[in-house]
Amino acid sequence: MIVRILGEGQLEVPESATAELNELDRELEAAVERGDEAAFAPALAALLAKVRQVGSPAQADELRPSELIVPHDDASMADVRKLLTDEGLIPG
């Protein structure tokens, strides 16, 4: 799947990483719902680190729509709240 990190670019992430990404997404979503700034920053950092770890840069010469969009490192809780859906950032 193609994941876009806002302001950074697209990564090709294997479907096999979905379960682990969903767990990190749930932690981030819970921190946002509680308004817990102390838990928010590490949860966002962990999600982005995992996307970067398992992903590889998408081909720059190939335009493909992003299947998932995640916030950038410096995103605020309000920024993330705008991106959340009923299934968090990562459906599944």
pLDDT in tens, 66-87: 888 999 999 999 999 988 877 7
Residue spans of the chain under pLDDT 70:
92
pLDDT (0 to 100) of residue 35 = 95
pLDDT (0 to 100) of residue 92 = 63
DSSP H or E run through 57: strand 56-57
pLDDT (0 to 100) of residue 61 = 74
For residue 87, which phi and psi values (nearest 5 degrees)? Answer: -105, 20
Give the residue among 3, 43, 6, 26 at the shortest CA–CA distance from 86: 26
Cβ-Cβ contacts under 8 Å for 56 (sequence gap 6 or more): 11, 12
Give the single-character DSSP code of 31: H
pLDDT (0 to 100) of residue 37 = 94
